[in-house]
Amino acid sequence: MPPVTPTARPLYSPADLAAAAATLDAARREWERYGLRSVSDEDVEVERARVEAARRELQAVAARAGSRVDAVRYRFLRVAGTLQQLFGLEDRFGWVVAVLLGLAGTVAVAPAVLLFRPPAGPGAAILVGTFLLTTAAGLLFVLGAGPGGLTAAADRLGRERATDRDRVQQLADEVTAGEERLGRLVAAHLAQAEYREAVARHRKFEDLLTGERYQLQTTDWRGLRGAEWVDFLARVFKLLGYRVEATRPGQGADLVVHGKGRRIAVQAVGAADAVGPGPVQAAFAGKTYYGCTDCLVVATGRFTDGAVEAAERAGCGLVDADKVPALIDGGLL
């Protein structure tokens, strides 16, 4: 096994747990502003769809209420109804009103024709055309008035327009209220998500800082020697998911660990001084004796250049004091 390179990963401390607790408390207070209401994604989407439907209806009704065509039609029906009453005509003589309107349109255009003085033929054509067009337009409005006469049709159209204007205001209020509800719902959903995330983070730190890994990380392992250092490493490898086997004294390995498709002969060196090539040779011998796939030397100190060269030749992994935290944190194996 070639020399391992540590993966730098931060170790957690009680300060992280305290910060997570403060974040959790703040997240809960924020969620309490919305009554600790549980809001799902579906709730938000349903409310958003309701608001969008109200907006679309508002646009349609507002377009109808502001229609210039309906405004012109209303005024035309009013004028036509007045003419009908003025001449005492019954509803079945509505076409007479259309003719009268045609005449009125022709009279209105006549001054302009006289002012520009076109030849007799074109001038008469203009007047006749105006009469026919105005009469035709009048017939369209009169014949489409429906039962009840022209005045009744004008009243009916006026009521419809008034209803539409009232509906526009009602829908505008509904959209405003819906947007406010949607805003509160989205804010409650976000506050809920942040609270749940804070809970998960707090639990994570609780588990980390009360679990085996944290106990190992905070142990003063640099001062361990002999059997204490071997026992400490046995706990580390068990934490990492390996099974630990006992070894015989003098057979070149303090531990044999296996799992994850590997079988490793481990030499544990608890020493403050620099570690030479001897433990590397012992680990390699243990690898052969116990039929391991890899060998590893874990020390509380540093390795000499000779130990590094021996490890490279033997394919033995080295973990010095700087790499032990990464080993415990799962960043090496």
Bridge partners, residue 295, by sequence: 265
49 and 162, same domain (yes or no)? yes
What does the pLDDT read at residue 9?
Answer: 41
How far is the C-alpha of 59 from the C-alpha of 231, rounded, in Å? 76
Residue 21 lies in a domain: no
Q: Do the Cβ atoms of 118 and 135 come closer than 8 Å?
A: no
318 and 256, same domain (yes or no)? yes
43 and 181, same domain (yes or no)? yes
Boundary (domain end) residue, out of 185, 210, 235:
210
The tens digit of pLDDT for each residue in 3-12 reads 433 333 445 6
Q: Do the Cβ atoms of 283 and 311 come closer than 8 Å?
A: no
Q: How far is CA 147 from the centre of its chain?
A: 56
Q: How far is CA 287 from the centre of its chain?
A: 53
How many CB atoms are closer than 10 A to CB 11? 14
Structure tokens that stand for 309 in this block = 């060269």
49 and 145, same domain (yes or no)? yes
Residue 15 lies in a domain: no
59 and 165, same domain (yes or no)? yes
Which residues does 116 contact at the CB level (< 8 Å), separation at least 6? none
Residue 145 predicted with pLDDT over 60 = no
Residue 105 lies in a domain: yes
Domain with 301 in it: what CATH number?
3.40.1350.10
147 and 230, same domain (yes or no)? no
Which is more confidently placed, 96 or 199?
Answer: 199
The tens digit of pLDDT for each residue in 76-130 reads 777 777 766 776 665 556 666 667 667 777 777 777 766 666 666 676 777 777 7
Confidence of residue 1 (pLDDT cuts 50, 70, 90): very low
Q: Strand 243-245 and strand 317-319: pairing?
A: unpaired
Residue 306 lies in a domain: yes
Most confident of 82-91, 206-215, 304-313: 304-313
96 and 177, same domain (yes or no)? yes
Q: Do the Cβ atoms of 269 and 299 come closer than 8 Å?
A: yes
187 and 290, same domain (yes or no)? no
How many CB atoms are closer than 10 A to CB 239? 16
200 and 230, same domain (yes or no)? no
What does the pLDDT read at residue 320?
Answer: 95
Q: What's the full length of the chain, in residues?
A: 333
Boundary (domain end) residue, out of 187, 210, 233:
210
Residue 234 lies in a domain: yes
How far is the C-alpha of 238 from the C-alpha of 180, rounded, in Å? 55
How far is the C-alpha of 286 from the C-alpha of 289, rounded, in Å? 5
Q: State the Cα angle at 232 between 229 and 237, rounded to 5°.
A: 125
Return the closest-CA partner of residue 324 out of 312, 332, 316: 332
Per cent of the chain over pLDDT 70 is: 83
Which residues does 53 contact at the CB level (< 8 Å), separation at least 6? none
Residue 19 lies in a domain: no
**Which stretch of DSSP H or E encloses residue 286?**
helix 278-289
Domain that holds residue 257: 215-328
How far is the C-alpha of 230 from the C-alpha of 254, rounded, in Å? 7
pTM for the structure as a whole: 0.50
Residue 265 lies in a domain: yes
Q: Do the Cβ atoms of 192 and 208 come closer than 8 Å?
A: no
Number of separate domains in the chain: 2
109 and 151, same domain (yes or no)? yes
Return the closest-CA partner of residue 297 out of 321, 266, 273, 274: 266
Residue 272 lies in a domain: yes
Boundary (domain end) residue, out of 210, 244, 279:
210
